[in-house]
Structure 1
Amino acid sequence: MQLVHEPVSGGDSTDEGGDRRVLATDVDLADSLVTQTRGLMFRRSLPDGAALAFRFDSVAVRDVHMLFVFFPIDAVWIADGVVQRVERLRPWLSFARAECDLLVELPAGAADGVEEGDRVVFES
């Protein structure tokens, strides 16, 4: 499964793959209470092309903290496939929140160019 960015600024060209960009080719799903609670804590890095995704049953405000995370990340909050917020988070210090039903954590810089209103989707 891969994570694909479809910018709104591309107009209809996204339907033909014009401005589409793969954000991650190796997506881990945090699908249990343990993996959701742990997140990226205690890991030393997140490789290029990787992402950690948190899927939820409904749209609600979700928090991201960076305690015990040793490297910067890009966090993307997505509701119904539409990006609500993108934030670069610093190790140990950052905290952010926004509404989403999908939260994706990527290596710092991987979400450059992703903006509110864009679409981010999973593809097989």
Structure 2
Amino acid sequence: MKEKKSKLPFVLIGLVLVLVGLGIWLGSGGSEKAANSPATPTGTQLPQTSSQRIEGQLTFIKRADASKIKQIAIEIADTPEERNRGLMDRRSLPDSTGMLFIFERSGQQSFWMKNTYIPLDIIFVNANKEIVKIHKYAAPHSIDSYPSEKEALYVVEVVGGFTDQHTIQEGDQISFNLTHGPS
């Protein structure tokens, strides 16, 4: 008479492997997260800036009749370090917010999108707070230069498409109120 071999050890090993695999999958946040997460060229994830520092309000004003177009909450970038960092490593930017760059002197300014994950509209503004140049939908991660072409003292960055959505044009103006003085 032949002796029957028990399948119990094989079933237990299979169950352990399934549980380990499930634990690994859940620990990575699931396959959807892994498939949709952008990675750096080395495959490591960049840190996301967790919160915005709302430091004032900025209003876009229509040139033709001085009417208010749209008001947004703003972060301020008024030191060399803050201006260099800008919106790098951000994964999102609400339509109701932006960043205002304040320079010490008016001059030709130029921006790029290296390490920036979201498309932006880059709005150059002169010392009279008049919009002199708009670059729409600046491409994420681009090292192309987006120049002001005219003298600018301020630059406003908002989510890509913002200027089209709110019909903001060169020649329109801005005004802003800060909750703190420039650094």
TM-score bin, normalised by smaller chain: 0.7 to 0.9
Task: Report deviation, 1:68.
Answer: 0.9
Equivalence for 1:22: 70
Mapped contact 2:61–2:70 kept (Cα < 8 A)? no
Q: What TM-score do you get using the length of structure 1 for normalisation?
A: 0.84
Q: Which amino acid aligns with 1:22?
A: K
- Structure 2: runs of 5+ lacking an equivalent: 1-55, 179-183
Name the structure 2 match of 1:109.
161
**Secondary structure in structure 2 of the residue aligned to 1:9:** coil
- Does structure 1 conserve the Cα–Cα contact (< 8 Å) formed by 2:83 and 2:101? yes
Number of residue pairs matched? 116
TM-score by length of 2: 0.59
For 2:93 and 2:145, the matched residues in 1 are separated by 18
**Which of 147, 162, 165 is matched with 1:97 structurally?**
147
Distance 1:90 1:7 in 2: 27
Provide the residue aligned with 2:10 in structure 1.
none
Question: Is this contact kept in 2: 1:86–1:114, CA < 8 A?
Answer: no
Alpha carbons of structure 1 residues 95 and 60: separation in structure 2 relative to 1, 3 Å: same
Cα distance between partner residues in 1 of 2:84 and 2:63: 32
Greater relative contact order (Cα 8 A, min sep 6): structure 1 or 2? 1
Q: Secondary structure at the match of 1:111?
A: helix
Query: Equivalent residues in 2 for 1:39-54 (5 A)?
Result: 39-54=86-101
Q: Max radius of gyration: which structure?
A: 2
- 2:129 counterpart (77, 81, 87): 81
Kept in 2: contact 1:77–1:85 (CA 8 A): yes
Distance in 2 between residues matched to 1:23 and 1:105, nearest whole Å: 13
Separation (CA, whole Å) in 2 of partners of 1:33 and 1:102: 13
Report how far residue 73 of structure 1 moved.
0.5
Residue of structure 2 in register with 1:9 after alignment: 64
From the two aligned structures, give the one with the greater strand fraction: 1
User: Partners of 1:23 and 1:55 in 2: how far apart?
Assistant: 18
Q: Give the deviation of 1:63 after TM superposition.
A: 0.8
User: Which whole-Å CA distance do the structure 1 matches of 2:173 and 2:83 have between them?
Assistant: 23
